[in-house]
Amino acid sequence: MEWGRSSLAVGSPVSEPGNLYRPPAPTPIGAVPALLRSIFTLDRDLLKLIPDTAYHTKVERFGLSRRGIVLIADPALVRQVMVDEVDAFPKNDLMVNALAPLINDGLFVSSHEVWRRQRNLVEPAFSHIRVQTAFEKMQQAVDTCEDRLTANVRRGEPFNLDRMLAQLTADIVFRTIFSKSLEDNKAAQFFDAWATFQRSVSEIRLSQLILRRAWDTPPQSTAVATSAAVIRQHIDQMVAERTSGTATGFNDICEDILTAKDPDSGDRFGLDEAADQIAVFFIAGHETTASVLTWCFFILSQQPDHVAELRREIEDLKQDGAVTFETVKRLSKTRNAFLEALRLYPPLGFIPRVSLNDTELGGLRIQRGTMVIVSPYILHRHHALWRNPDRFDPTRFERDTENRFTSGAFIPFGLGPRVCVGSSFAMMEATLILARLIDRFEFTSVAPDRVQPVCQLSIRPAEDIQMAASIRTKDLTGTP
């Protein structure tokens, strides 16, 4: 390995593993045991299949397969695939096929000219995910969530953390897309279908990965098709309500996408295509933020001293007792806690591409059709890039150490022309949600020892995390 630990390592100089919390993650094992485990057990979670060598090398062939699978965890190689040769490594056929029932050939999965056209037409809609514009909607959704949680506390019931946060982030993005809140009854149907979709679409059928050729995509299971149809029906219905309604003057993502027009050619989206892009915003815009927040709340429930530190920061920066836009911009410790959760559990832990040509990556010969997986999960836990990589240490994101990041070592939002368009939006909403909920509630995890991550589209808890909440004493007495 030529990587210099001194030039790349990030982390607090006083951070020693003994003092730092290690959040749940599978302990990597050798390549052969990992393969045997995947063959002889039903547990085919990608996180458990990664051999320990992957956390030390730049590029790794993954198992034996007809098409070839390569894992990339090196800043320079990530740049090659996602920036310098982006057209030679388009979105992977298996991922495109998996998401097609939800978004067809929409923005997130399209490539080349199709993507460039969509991106051009969708551009005006990005004004609605500017943080200043969206902040009020975020506050309103957090108000609703607080009321719901307070009712839960009064009933003395634990709640499903993942579901609570998914409903909150979905409500935020729903208000940004459609200018209205996500009704509770629709949310329940939506999340049940979404949970089924995520679980069934990501079942790794090892034989298919090993035996199939590139672009020979497998048929989807009935569970995938049925759950996707339920999700799409909700989104299509919202779009239909807008196009058939008499109300006008909307100022939101839905309106901008429906009325998008290329000024030179006059090109516009057809109705179905417009609905595909709206579905992309809804799906990409809620699950990702919710899953990192789930990890962040869980970790903080295990780290009371850290929570106390965040509460002091929040208390100091509130304005007239409220968490305002200005407060959120200055909450650096809260933001760093979220960034550290994002490092350990990047929702898109594996970003798959396909090689269009016979080529070479980091000294490995790559055949056309090889699945090239850029892995933020491995990169963010790489032993040559991070000190104490498996430990929770938000100080690594403090301003003076942040500058030492090597470009490409921290890529939760991707890189290059396909980088996430909602990163500032996600950072703002996550910091706001953490600040408001931590300030008001005390959270206790019901069964922390059962919590383990799994890779199902996003990196999420294998079992729902049950939390108990209570209202903080200061809220009951009215004193800080």
Binding interface with ligand HEM (CB under 6 A)? 107-108, 119, 129, 173, 280-281, 284-285, 288-289, 292, 347-348, 351, 412-414, 418, 420-422, 425-426
Amino acid at 303: Q
Give the rounded distance of the alpha carbon of 285 from its chain centre: 9
Q: How far is the CB of 149 from ligand HEM (least distance, A)?
A: 21
Closest separation in Å from C-beta 351 to ligand HEM: 5
Question: Least distance (Å) from ligand HEM to the CB of residue 349?
Answer: 10
The nearest distance, CB 269 to ligand HEM, in angstroms, is 14
Please, what is the minimum distance in Å from the beta carbon of residue 414 to ligand HEM?
3
Q: Are the CB atoms for 407 and 82 separated by under 8 Å? A: no
Q: Which residue's CB is nearer to ligand HEM, number 85 or number 442?
A: 85
Write down the least CB distance from residue 173 to ligand HEM, Å: 5
Tell me if 68 sits within 8 A of 367, measured CB to CB. Answer: yes
Nearer to ligand HEM, 386 or 425 (CB): 425
**Residue 369 vs 422, nearer CB to ligand HEM:** 422
When the beta carbons of 51 and 75 are compared against ligand HEM, the nearer one is 75
Q: From CA 34, how far away is CA 28, in angstroms rounded?
A: 8
State the minimum distance, in angstroms, from the CB of residue 413 to ligand HEM. Answer: 5
Q: Which is nearer to ligand HEM, 129 or 228 (CB)?
A: 129
Q: Residue 425, class by beta-carbon neighbours within 10 Å (0-12 exposed, 13-18 middle, 19+ buried)?
A: buried
Rounded least distance, CB 118 to ligand HEM, Å: 8
Output the smallest distance, CB 440 to ligand HEM, in A. Answer: 22
Which residue of this chain has its Cβ atom nearest to ligand HEM in the complex?
A: 422
Say if residues 23 and 29 touch (Cβ distance below 8 Å): no
Residues written for the chain: 480
Nearer to ligand HEM, 227 or 431 (CB): 431
CB within 8 Å of 107: residues ≥ 6 apart: 115, 118, 119, 122, 276, 277, 280
Identify whether the C-beta of residue 42 lies closer than 8 Å to the C-beta of residue 24.
Answer: no
> Can you point out the beta strands (E) in 362-430?
364-366, 371-374
β-partners of residue 372 are 70, 353
- CA 318 vs. chain centroid, Å, equals 28
Between 49 and 165, whose beta carbon lies closer to ligand HEM? 165
Whichever of 24 and 376 has its CB closer to ligand HEM, that residue is 376
Closest CA to 211 of 64, 49, 366: 64
Nearest to 288 by CA among 450, 172, 210: 172
Q: What span, in angstroms and rounded, lies between the C-alpha atoms of 279 and 96?
A: 14
Burial class (CB in 10 A: 0-12, 13-18, 19+), 70: buried
The nearer residue to ligand HEM, 284 or 454, going by C-beta atoms, is 284
